[in-house]
Structure 1
Amino acid sequence: MTRPGTATVCCLLAVAATGCGIRPTGVTDGGSAPSGISQGMRVYFASDSGPRGVSRPGAQLHELNGAFKLLLAGPTPEERAAGLANLLPRGEALSATSRHGKVTVNAPGRHFDPQDQSTGQLVCTIARAEVLLHGTRPDKVQVTIVGADGRAGPYQCQQFLSR
């Protein structure tokens, strides 16, 4: 190597050894990481991309059947303007019972299709209520629907949200 070549290599090595010029700092706190499930009740309505949950922050549930009242009330005007719709009839007679995360929804006279968004609305809303009321992990809630066609399910909310 020639002297100018050696000088160039040395200069490049010196520049590389000095780093990028950013001085080190102490440890910074980015805050706490998100944990657990989101707070409050969520109700699920139909949208172009499948069931979508909306928050009902002031809703107080004392039993599973209270979730049906929220669901059957339908989306707010703002939610309707955003493309959300309730595919369940307002006068629908629905009731639910739960035992260790296994929820049974009684929907007499109703035909449920697992591909239908109304089924997803029902399953996800009642599953959310089960989580809030009984502390069941969301991935452990199973919802069976008893309707005009007999029993359907068990379903999990994730089945309807991952389409």
Structure 2
Amino acid sequence: MSARVPAWALAAASLLAGCAISPTGVMDGGEPPTGFQPSTRLYFVSDARLRAVSRPMPWPSVRDTLDLLLEGPTSAERRQGLRTELQPGMDTPAEVTSDTARVRITLADPVPVPRESAPVRSRSQNLWLGQLTCTAASALAARSNIDPDAVTVVIRRGRAERLGSFRCSEFPRAPE
């Protein structure tokens, strides 16, 4: 029985001693975690390659995303060396439709399209097509939860002239 007394005494002594951490005041834990925040991807040009820019906003429609693209890079994005190859005067596309993995963009006719783009030769020479393609593909992919490179984008000028059928992976892109 004498062996129990020292064990009990030792337990009581440790409880009375506490954990040796002195009390503090209320501490601020900072901002709460936010988790996943939806964003919209736009593609601009930097060093002859497309570069994705994320804008912190929920997923707008494909048409609304293209409207954002046509507004061009923000001043902060321009300071990072981003520019657009879309021609001044290119207004909102006349028609934008989409289904599961295809976007159809009909540009207003006449639309100021660079001369070197007809016929479409090199993807690196026609980065404005890549901007439209990758931005539209990303917008549809985000809303449909599919890979952007699985989306085909068909671009027409007016009702008569088909500029081509494209996938974002066909255009040179900067590493993300």
Q: Which moved more, 1:67-76 or 1:120-129?
A: 67-76
| SS, match of residue 143 in structure 2 | helix
| SS, match of residue 132 in structure 1 | helix
TM-score, L = length of structure 2 = 0.62
**Corresponding residue for residue 149 of structure 2:** 139
**Corresponding residue for residue 65 of structure 1:** 63
**Corresponding residue for residue 140 of structure 2:** 130
CA gap of 1:51–1:43, structure 2 versus 1, over 3 A, is same
- After superposition, the CA RMSD in angstroms is 2.3
How far apart in 2 are the matches of 1:39 and 1:161?
25
Deviation (angstroms), 1:162: 5.2
Query: Is contact 1:74-1:85 (8 Å) kept?
Result: yes
**Corresponding residue for residue 156 of structure 1:** 167
Query: 1:85-104 counterparts in 2 under 5 A?
Result: 85-88=83-86, 89=88, 91-94=90-93, 95-104=95-104
Q: Among all aligned residue pairs of Structure 1 and Structure 2, give the percentage whose two residues are the same amino acid.
A: 34
Letter in 1 for 2:170: Q
The runs of at least 4 consecutive aligned structure 1 residues that moved more than 6 Å come to none
Deviation (angstroms), 1:59: 4.7
Query: Is contact 1:41-1:55 (8 Å) kept?
Result: yes
Query: Is contact 1:73-1:90 (8 Å) kept?
Result: no
**Corresponding residue for residue 54 of structure 1:** 53
- How many aligned residue pairs are there? 125
Letter in 1 for 2:153: V
How far apart in 2 are the matches of 1:128 and 1:116?
19
What are the Cα deviations for residues 102-147 of structure 1, in whole angstroms up to 9, with x where unaligned? Answer: 1111112234544311111111101110101222322210001011
Deviation (angstroms), 1:90: 5.4
How far apart in 2 are the matches of 1:80 and 1:60?
23
Query: 1:14-29 counterparts in 2 under 5 A?
Result: none
What are the Cα deviations for residues 48-86 of structure 1, in whole angstroms up to 9, with x where unaligned? Answer: 13111111012541x210111210121111211111112
| SS, match of residue 46 in structure 1 | strand
Unpaired segments ≥5 residues, structure 2: 1-36
Unpaired segments ≥5 residues, structure 1: 1-37
Query: Is contact 1:72-1:90 (8 Å) kept?
Result: no
TM-score, L = length of structure 1 = 0.67
